[in-house]
Structure 1
């Protein structure tokens, strides 16, 4: 891939990088198209087990929509395919990590929010800032599942940024690290995930979201359906065998 978004994969880890630092990695049409292409490439890449979404520079992960472009095009309601939204307009079964290297405002907040895990630089900040520019944030509907409702309300109504430490305290961020360590920390986290049994990883991700979709009894039933083929897989026998034989498991993904 060329242009303002790069997709690269190595040793089971894919990197999707927004490369538009001169515009604070804002979501121009070219960036949005690149994100679509990159997510589709990750989904189709069987060798890639985990995706890390990040950006270049230290000022911004993504400052949100390109307001200049919006003004030029008189954008009103964004179309359903305006931006890839995991679980809404595109399914991303494999794990995703946001490596947030600066401000994550508006659409940048969305990009981080929709990833399964978030690692942030110590100087990063997060905001659903649409109320400050008269725009909308329907994509923030899951926020009150991620943080307590009153905290979600404050984030949405004020549009004020919160720093990385506060975001971690609220549960929006998993790890806060120094900027120089961000990529290595995200890579190490991805490696730990990629080393696990692939079918179990995919099922674990699906299970984690069940409580947001179903009442508890139904969530248990759905979880049993998700995990039955994992129990029946060859990998489910390989794990105990490798433990008994004191060797590293050789996962087949079946």
Structure 2
């Protein structure tokens, strides 16, 4: 990674822990962080031993404070190039699930990358904000929020730019789990372990089903989800799962 701006821990249990490592700069999305994230996500996607990733930040103050405002001033940046930010499932092609472990402030671009992950665990001291209206910028990336939280709440968050607490983020459905600061990463890893316990092809089909359901009408989503599930149904794991249950033993997933 670029001068360790992003740390990558490939754990033997199949979990990749990706850490934004510029706590002195509140882990903002500067050039080094962006380059490190592009590299980290690519490494995760192409390592067959890794099945799920946890994205977090160094320090206790910020998960990610957003874009590098100094860079924006220096370059007189207008609309950022779409490929500028390493955004999972958007500018980054990923086929595996991801979890954001939000350790502090997730503002603007920090909210953006946390939102892009499939699941989110937050420290009880974390805060979330879409602050673009306060600095004359915009947040088109926030559009998918409408599938996560109610419209009126989304409207208030975007129009005011005011932060919300981790508890409020949990209440509105943005966050899956809350954890005390010292338990944040263990909680995220435990959630990742629950995902890893499932058959790999079934997990992939489940993720695709959720995404299809958010992007299509009911009938089209049903048809597409059936097609997506076919590989899992026809796999060796589809026979192993019921056999293991009947024999009262843990399944031995092969991912095929």
Output the TM-score relative to the length of structure 2: 0.97
> Distance between the aligned counterparts of 1:172 and 1:30, measured in 2?
28
Cα distance in 2 between the residues matched to 1:188 and 1:236: 25
Matches within 5 A, 1:141-152: 141-152=143-154
2:219 alignment counterpart: 217
Distance 1:6 1:86 in 2: 17
After superposition, the CA RMSD in angstroms is 0.9
Residue 7 of structure 2 aligns with which residue? 6
Give, in angstroms, the shift of residue 91 of structure 1: 2.1
Q: Which moved more, 1:99-108 or 1:61-70?
A: 61-70
Match of 1:92 among 80, 91, 94: 94
Alpha-carbon offset, residue 88 of structure 1: 2.1
| Shift in Å, 1:195 | 1.8
CA distance in 1, matches of 2:138, 2:8: 29
Deviations 1:55-88 (A, max 9, x none): 1000000000111121112111111211122232
The 1-side partners of 2:125 and 2:192 are apart by: 22
**Contact 2:60–2:103 (8 Å) recurs in 1:** yes
Could you list the per-position Cα deviations for residues 208-233 of structure 1 after superposition, in whole angstroms to 9, with x for gaps in the alignment? 11221100011110110011111111
Q: Which runs of 5+ in 2 are unaligned?
A: none
Q: Distance in 1 between matches of 2:4 and 2:77?
A: 23
- In 2, the alpha carbon distance for the partners of 1:91 and 1:44 equals 11
Does 2:209 align with 1:197?
Answer: no
1:46 counterpart (45, 48, 69): 48
Deviations 1:66-118 (A, max 9, x none): 11121112111111211122232222111100000000000000011011110
Alignment partner of 1:34 out of 24, 30, 36: 36
Of 139, 142, 148, which aligns to 1:140?
Answer: 142
Partner residue, 2:118: 116
The 5-angstrom pairing of residues 50-199 of structure 1 reads 50-199=52-201
- Residues 32-66 of structure 1, C-alpha deviations (whole Å, 9 max, x = no match): 11111111011001111110000100000000011
1:249 corresponds, among 235, 248, 251, to 251
Q: Structure 1 segments of 4 or more deviating over 6 A?
A: none
Structure 1 residue ranges without an equivalent (≥5): none
Aligned length: 254
Q: What secondary structure sits across from 1:176 in the alignment?
A: strand
Q: Which residue of 2 aligns with 1:237?
A: 239
Equivalent position SS for 1:153: helix
Mapped to 2, the partners of 1:96 and 1:62 lie a distance apart of 17
Q: Does the residue aligned with 1:151 lie in a helix, a strand or coil? A: helix
